[in-house]
Amino acid sequence: MPPQISVLDAGGQYCHLIARRVRELGVYADVHPSEVSATALAGRKGIIISGGPSSVYDPGSPDVDPAIFSTPSAVLGICYGHQLMAHHLGGTVRKGEKGEYGLAFLEPTGAAALFGGLDRKESVWMSHRDLVTAAPPAFRVLARTETCPVAAMVDDGGRLYGVQFHPEVVHTRRGQDVLRNFLFEICGCEKDWQPTHQIPEVERQIRETAAGRNVFFFASGGVDSTVAFSLCLRALGPERVRAAYVDTGLMREGETDFVREVFEAMASGVFQVVDASEEFVGALAGVTDPEKKRHIIGEEFVAVQERVLASSHFMDGQWILGQGTIYPDTIESGGTQKADLIKTHHNRVAGIQKLLAENRIVEPLSQFYKDEVRELGRAMGLPGELLDRHPFPGPGLAIRCLCSDVEDTPQETEDGWIIPVRSVGVQGDSRSYQPVLAIDKQPTEELALAATYLVNRLSTVNRVMAVAASHAHIGAMKVSRAAITEGRLARLRKADATVRRLTATSGLDAIVWQFPVVTIPVGTTARPDSVVLRPVDSVDGMTASAVLMPRELLDELCTELLAVEGVCAVFYDLTHKPPATIEWE
């Protein structure tokens, strides 16, 4: 049976969000590249064409097979999808200069099933440059906004809809109702999706793929690989699954014990800790260049994983590799490129390459989104403490412990103090390392607003941070020569554990998406390091905004952090991504 709904990815960051929203309404949806043929989509009740950054007039811009407009499937074009529909069917798309980004008010000009139950004037989220100025022949205009003459349209048959706004984002207040109308009133879908009901089928597939062989995992302690492991354990039993966890010595406080407990609670004897901390920390000794640090960690992972594969008979034909790959990682879109980047060190392991080439691999989560993975984990009894944890980067604390190969001093400018440490940013297409601007003021909404503006204007810094608390004035601080040492890691571990404890009790950790705690080699002789707080809000890590916290909590954090041995100041990173990144390296 084909899925009832398919979403065509026209290059927008929203295509997975659309599919997730459809699934939240209880209807399974999958994602395809926009050019997929109408024949391959046969049998769908509905097709949704996503938004995207292109113009229908750009050469090589994403297109769809025009035959999809004359099949029995209903079609909903969103934003770029709306323009594409108008363009193919004889409407007019005007090239926009400035565009419209943000909230707009939708004024209905005619009744339609898509807007059933909505108020006369609804607020919707717009993000577009080009716009449809005339609907195709045999179409009716359903709504306009101040700038869009054709903000929504429908064909005479009531099967083809186009909307300029984004129903899938939360800022479109009744967006989920619009999607609900499309699914149930227009396409005639039936509810067929509840992730936890899939568990027996996923278990069956695991048994089928394993075909009598066993499954082993390189566990990271993250949500995906742990839930994937748990599914394999249910499907195959404790005799046939194993997990190896590499302790790099770059872990947070208590991390290895926590992961061991989670796995031991699932089944005893299936989990093995490979202690490689001396190797990792040893290989990083004296290294200060951020990209070199990452490279060394990647190399060490490769070496340790090869060793585990060779020593445990995992290559003897009786084993296949389990991975926690989730749905967005399997589709060619923006999300994938990032995933490829992050997981390179896994794919470079020769043994793993061999297993991949021989198709000896099982990925039980390949059809699920992150929220659905959490639901599966919950249904299988995994602890909330694991399922709700923030993402944590593979290279661990190493990329949060900044280093320096020179001694230097902060420079005062009219905008604040330039602190000569190397922090990464994403101005333009590539990662670049630049100093940071510290402003000797408390973190406020106003300063956060100014931060992006300042980074753009100065173009010599990647970030702006406020000074939350300090033992010394910035002018009296210096940058010292520093690499990764056990002592500096212990300091960072302590600061990180302090932040995690206080944000857990205050409830802040539940509302931020991630909260890196970073140490930079900036301070005084007695207190050579400072702590940077980096709480962010995000949906998928691709973009993020800096988050402020209640004053009381910040005061409490500062008091405890300034009491940590060797810590001189507490800074607060106020920069969004872009122009900064979430992590500092």
The residue to which tokens 């005799």 are assigned: 239
Q: Under a CB-based contact definition with an 8 Å cutoff, are residues 395 and 359 in contact?
A: no
- Beta-ladder partners of 519: 401, 531
Measure Cα distances from 72 to 30, 41, 67, 473 in Å.
18, 11, 11, 70
Task: Check 87, 100, 122, 168 and give the catalytic one.
Answer: 168
The only residue of 219, 419, 512, 582 in contact with ligand XMP, by rule CB under 6 A: 582
Instruction: Measure the CA–CA gap between 464 and 437, rounded to whole angstroms.
Output: 5
Which helix (H) or strand (E) segment is 455 a member of?
helix 445-458
Nearer to ligand XMP, 174 or 346 (CB): 346
Q: Which of residues 81-100 bind ligand XMP (CB under 6 A)?
A: none
Q: Which is nearer to ligand XMP, 38 or 342 (CB)?
A: 342
Query: Of the two residues 335 and 393, which places its CB atom closer to ligand XMP in the complex?
Result: 393
Least CB distance to ligand XMP at residue 56 (A): 31
Among 20, 420, 577, 579, which residue sits at the site for ligand XMP (rule: CB under 6 A)? Answer: 577
Alpha-carbon gap, residue 167 to 348, rounded angstroms: 40
Q: Is 401 a catalytic residue?
A: no
Amino acid identity for residue 480 in this structure:
S
Type and span of the H or E element at 433: strand 432-439
Residues 257-316 that bind ligand XMP (CB under 6 A): none
Pairing of strands 567-573, 529-533: parallel
248 is a site residue for ligand XMP (CB under 6 A) = no
Query: What is the phi/psi pair of residue 443, to 5°?
Result: -65, 125
Q: Does the protein bind ligand XMP through residue 174 (CB under 6 A)?
A: no
Q: Smaller CB distance to ligand XMP: residue 115 or 301?
A: 301
Q: Return the number of the residue (232 or 582) whose C-beta is nearest ligand XMP.
A: 582
CA atoms within 13 A on the CB side of 527: 19
Q: Which is nearer to ligand XMP, 148 or 326 (CB)?
A: 326
Instruction: Identify which of 231, 264, 207 has the alpha carbon closest to the alpha carbon of residue 368.
Output: 231
Please choose, out of 274-282, 390-398, 527-535, 546-554, the segment that lies near ligand XMP by the rule CB under 6 A: 390-398
Shortest Å, Cβ 274 to ligand XMP: 18
Tell which residue, 210, 228, 206, 209, has the closest CA to residue 218. 228
- Please select the residue that binds ligand XMP; options are 51, 195, 395, 566, rule is CB under 6 A: 395
Helix ranges (DSSP H) in 312-444: 327-330, 334-342, 344-347, 350-357, 370-379, 384-387
Residues 344-383: x where in contact with ligand XMP by CB under 6 A, - otherwise, as a string = ----------------------------------------
Q: Measured between alpha carbons, how far is 286 from 516 in angstroms, rounded to an integer?
A: 23
Distance between terminal CA atoms of the chain?
46
- Cα separation of 150 and 135, whole Å? 7
- Among residue numbers 129 through 148, which ones bind ligand XMP (CB under 6 A)? none
Question: Could you give the CA distance from residue 369 to residue 387 in angstroms, rounded to a whole number?
Answer: 13
Given the rule CB under 6 A, which of 61-69, 125-133, 376-384, 388-396 is the region that contacts ligand XMP? Answer: 388-396
Nearer to ligand XMP, 220 or 330 (CB): 220
Q: CA 325, 326, 328, 331: dihedral to nearest 10 degrees?
A: 50
Please select the residue that binds ligand XMP; options are 541, 553, 556, 578, rule is CB under 6 A.
541
Q: Which of 283, 298, 548, 575 is nearest to 434 (CA)?
A: 575
**Helix intervals (H) in 134-222:** 175-180, 199-210
By CB under 6 A, which span of 47-55, 387-395, 527-535, 559-567 interacts with ligand XMP? 387-395
Q: How far is the CB of 39 from ligand XMP (least distance, A)?
A: 38
Q: Which of 79, 189, 403, 568 is catalytic?
A: 79
Gap between the Cα atoms of 303 and 281, Å rounded? 14
Q: Does 394 bind ligand XMP (CB under 6 A)?
A: yes
Nearer to ligand XMP, 118 or 426 (CB): 426
CA distance 251 to 241: 24
Q: Does 539 bind ligand XMP (CB under 6 A)?
A: no
Range in contact with ligand XMP (rule: CB under 6 A) among 194-202, 361-369, 476-484, 575-583: 575-583
Say which DSSP state 391 is in. Answer: P
Contact indicator for 189, 3 with CB cutoff of 8 Å:
no
**Least Cβ distance, residue 391 to ligand XMP (angstroms):** 4
**544: its two tokens:** 């993020």
Residue type, 516: P
Of 30-59, binders to ligand XMP (CB under 6 A) are none
Q: Which of residues 2-31 bind ligand XMP (CB under 6 A)?
A: none
Segment contacting ligand XMP (CB under 6 A): 33-41, 206-214, 232-240, 389-397? 389-397
Q: Should residue 583 be labelled a site residue for ligand XMP when binding is judged by CB under 6 A? A: yes
- 187 among known catalytic residues: no
Tell me the site size for ligand XMP, rule CB under 6 A: 11
Residue 54 or 325: the one with the smaller Cβ distance to ligand XMP is 325
Whose Cβ is closer to ligand XMP: residue 377's or residue 395's?
395
Contacts of 49 (CB under 8 A, 6+ apart): 7, 8, 10, 34, 64, 75, 76, 77, 78, 80, 81, 82, 84, 85
Between 155 and 329, name the residue whose CB sits nearer to ligand XMP.
Answer: 329
- Shortest Cβ distance from residue 187 to ligand XMP (Å)? 35
Does 514 interact with ligand XMP (rule: CB under 6 A)? yes
Q: Could you tell me which of 351, 424, 393, 147 has the C-alpha nearest to residue 248?
A: 393
Whole-number minimum distance, CB 389 to ligand XMP, in Å?
A: 12
Phi, psi of 560 (to 5 degrees): -70, -40
Alpha-carbon span 237 to 212, nearest angstrom: 12
Q: Is 393 in the site for ligand XMP (CB under 6 A)?
A: yes
Closest CB 422 distance from ligand XMP, rounded Å: 14
Active site residue 79: yes
Segment 469 to 498, residues that bind ligand XMP, using CB under 6 A: none
- Name the active-site residue from 16, 87, 128, 166: 166
Scanning 79-87, 241-249, 392-400, 406-414 for contacts with ligand XMP by CB under 6 A, the matching segment is 392-400
> What residue ranges bind ligand XMP (CB under 6 A)?
342, 391, 393-395, 514, 541, 577, 581-583
Residues with a catalytic annotation lie at: 79, 166, 168
